[in-house]
Structure 1
């Protein structure tokens, strides 16, 4: 499903970004352009990211989690 019509970003693209370490809307904006034009997709994009990100985070070592959290 398309989440961001302005930049043609799908939920699959957001999940893929989450799987590769993206953990905030700001990072999504930089990587995919989500919510950088009209902003109507921000809430849905963040919800999908939050749903997908914990799966990725739970597989990372605790040290990586700490570094990632400090960097955000």
Structure 2
């Protein structure tokens, strides 16, 4: 799905930038070789960043729980 019509960025492009280490909107655009234009896409970009953060925290918590259980 297109998220940014100014730059023709899709949700996949944004997710790939996030997987590449982007943690802020400016890093997402930079990672895609683009610049933010009108800003209409910013809520969706932020939502995708938050979603990635939640997933990363859940993975981290799961790994910690596994390590604690394995150590017991």
User: TM-score normalized by structure 1?
Assistant: 0.65
Structure 1 spans left out of the alignment, 5+ residues: 60-72
Q: Structure 1 stretches (4+) deviating beyond 6 angstroms?
A: none
Structure 2 spans left out of the alignment, 5+ residues: 61-72
Q: Which has the higher contact order (CA 8 A, sep 6+)?
A: 1
User: TM-score normalized by structure 2?
Assistant: 0.65
- What is the aligned partner in structure 2 of residue 49 from structure 1? 49
The secondary structure found in structure 2 opposite 1:38 is: coil
Alpha-carbon distance between aligned partners in 2 of 1:5 and 1:29, rounded to the nearest angstrom: 13
Kindly indicate whether the alpha-carbon contact (under 8 Å) linking 1:21 and 1:56 is maintained by their aligned counterparts in 2. Answer: no
The secondary structure found in structure 1 opposite 2:3 is: strand
| Larger helix proportion of the pair | 2
